[in-house]
Amino acid sequence: DGSAFGVDQGETSRFELGANVSAYYKTNIVQNVSIQNTLNLYANYLENLGNVDIDYTLSIAMKINSFLSANIIAQAIYDDNAIAKVQVREVFGLGFNYKF
């Protein structure tokens, strides 16, 4: 149809009016391991109100020892303006920590 991310061909922006709900929760599940959840929901009033955009992120941070830390992030997004499928992103990070 010639559009990308819901922006019509030849246009540079898209106007939407809607409601946004955000939720955030963080806790330590065991010592040196924390879990963080973020959920964002958006419904566009001007188009199909029942079609809700979803963005959920789960982040786990671990302090392995005094030198090493690790992070695991998983994100799932549903936005039919971009693509009418669930998009998933996963990240693993390993860090080396040193105090001067």
Q: pLDDT per residue over 38-96, tens digit each?
A: 999 999 988 888 889 999 999 999 999 989 999 999 999 998 877 889 999 999 999 99
3-class secondary structure, 16:
coil
Instruction: Compute CA distances 23 → 3, 51, 80, 81, whole Å.
Output: 31, 19, 21, 22
CA distance 39 to 26: 12
Q: Where are the chain's structural domains?
A: 18-96
What pLDDT does residue 2 have? 57
Give the number of C-alpha atoms closer than 13 A to the C-alpha of residue 72, restricted to the C-beta side: 7
pTM of this structure: 0.82
Residues 5-30: tens digit of each pLDDT: 677 788 888 888 999 999 999 999 99
